[in-house]
């Protein structure tokens, strides 16, 4: 049986690790948050008291952490994965981070005789729960093949994009589009609302027209239209505004380094940044709809 050390059993990591348990993998879990570790233990995982304990003697290490600094610290910091895992261990980071950070961690892993891949995911908590995530992988072909059974326990579409860092590149491109789409759909529906048109009917029309997006169909920012959407559940994440702000920011930074002009993504990033400043950072990112409110009737137009 493949033994897996899983670090970061939060909103996404917990349901993903649960699917590994369901498929017969022996999972040892660690998270900074003791409540998350308790939830993992209740779901049949072995609780670890540190990252080092979670990865010692494991065949596979999986990490699902918030952002680049967390990932770099967990792998290369004191008592981190690279110091504690045995030589030859395959490490798969499924967090959404800067592709350059993935490459740095891969380099440090190789120096210690460990293997590393990036394998970020798309689909949010519903697909993490169903085990039907899209998983985009950057790494050596033989490492991809070795990790495939575990990745297929968590995802329905597991795609090898290219060498280390490539999975993150695909993910940043995807989230740039999703982040912009949530702002665009929110703006459009504020206009429809302002005219007093039935928002369900507008949704039906758009779903059969050129403005249709997966985001509107699955994660509609207006409450009460898509039952499973975070908006219909008080904007509980789902995918937090702060994480979307981070992801669009990673795309903006990448474009800057590549000297590619971007207009729409930086604007969307600032909308998420402002929404976060106004208390929506830990709500689902589709809560931008609640932030993009009309100004008062007295305001001159």
- Active site members: 171
Q: Quick check: 221 binds ligand NAD (CB under 6 A)?
A: no
CB 248 within 8 A of CB 238: no
The rounded distance, in Å, linking the Cα atoms of 292 and 294 is 7
Question: Considering CB under 6 A, how many residues would be counted as binding ligand NAD?
Answer: 30
Sort 163 into a burial class: Cβ within 10 Å, 0-12 / 13-18 / 19+: middle
Q: Which is nearer to ligand NAD, 202 or 215 (CB)?
A: 215
**Which residues, 21 to 50, sit near ligand NAD by CB under 6 A?**
30-33, 36
What is the pattern of x (binds ligand NAD, CB under 6 A) and - over residues 181-220?
A: ----------------------------------------
Q: Tokens for 180, please give them.
A: 């912009």
The rounded distance, in Å, linking the Cα atoms of 197 and 189 is 9
* DSSP states of 174-189: HHHHHHHHHHHHHHHH
Q: Quick check: 126 binds ligand NAD (CB under 6 A)?
A: no
What count of other Cβ atoms lies within 10 Å of the Cβ of residue 216?
Answer: 25
> Cβ 191 to ligand NAD, closest distance in Å?
27
The rounded distance, in Å, linking the Cα atoms of 187 and 85 is 48
Q: Which among 38-46, 67-75, 212-220, 259-267 is the span making contact with ligand NAD, rule CB under 6 A?
A: 67-75
**Which residues, 246 to 265, sit near ligand NAD by CB under 6 A?**
247
Kindly report the backbone phi and psi dihedral angles of residue 10, in degrees, each rounded to the nearest multiple of 5, phi listed first: -90, -145
Q: Which is nearer to ligand NAD, 15 or 206 (CB)?
A: 15
What count of other Cβ atoms lies within 10 Å of the Cβ of residue 16?
Answer: 28
Q: Which among 2-10, 157-165, 182-190, 252-260 is the span making contact with ligand NAD, rule CB under 6 A?
A: 2-10
Q: Which is nearer to ligand NAD, 64 or 206 (CB)?
A: 64
> Cβ 81 to ligand NAD, closest distance in Å?
10
Q: How many helices (H) and strands (E) in the chain? A: 14, 9
Residues that bind ligand NAD (CB under 6 A): 7-8, 10-13, 30-33, 36, 51, 64-67, 70, 73-74, 95-96, 121-122, 124-125, 237-239, 243, 247
């Amino acid at each position: 049986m493949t033994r897996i050390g899983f670090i970061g059993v939060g909103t996404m990591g917990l349901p993903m690790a649960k699917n590994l348990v369901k498929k017969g993998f022996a999972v040892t879990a660690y998270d900074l948050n003791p409540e998350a570790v308790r939830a993992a233990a209740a779901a049949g995982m072995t609780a670890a008291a540190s990252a080092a304990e979670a990865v010692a003697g494991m065949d596979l290490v999986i990490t699902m952490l918030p952002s680049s600094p967390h990932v770099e610290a967990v792998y290369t910091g004191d008592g981190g994965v690279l110091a504690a895992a045995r030589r030859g261990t395959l490490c798969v980071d499924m967090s959404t981070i800067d592709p350059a950070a993935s490459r740095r961690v891969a380099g440090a892993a190789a120096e210690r005789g460990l293997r590393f891949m990036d394998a970020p995911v798309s689909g949010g908590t519903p697909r993490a729960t169903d085990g039907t995530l899209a998983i985009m992988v950057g790494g050596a072909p033989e490492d991809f093949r070795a990790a495939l059974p575990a990745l297929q326990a968590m995802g329905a579409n597991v795609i090898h994009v290219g060498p280390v860092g490539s999975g993150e590149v695909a993910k940043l491109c995807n989230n740039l589009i999703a982040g912009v789409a949530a702002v665009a759909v929110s703006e459009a529906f504020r206009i429809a609302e302002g005219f007093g048109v039935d928002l369900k009917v507008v949704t039906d029309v758009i779903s059969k027209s050129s403005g249709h997006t997966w985001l509107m169909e699955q994660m509609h920012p207006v409450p009460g239209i898509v039952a499973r959407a975070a908006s219909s559940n008080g904007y509980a994440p789902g995918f937090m505004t702060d994480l979307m702000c981070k992801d669009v920011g990673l795309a903006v930074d990448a474009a800057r380094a590549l000297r590619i002009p971007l207009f729409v993504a930086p604007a969307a990033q600032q909308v998420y940044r402002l929404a976060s400043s106004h208390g929506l950072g830990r709500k689902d990112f589709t809560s931008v709809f609640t932030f993009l409110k009309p100004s008062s009737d007295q305001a001159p137009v």
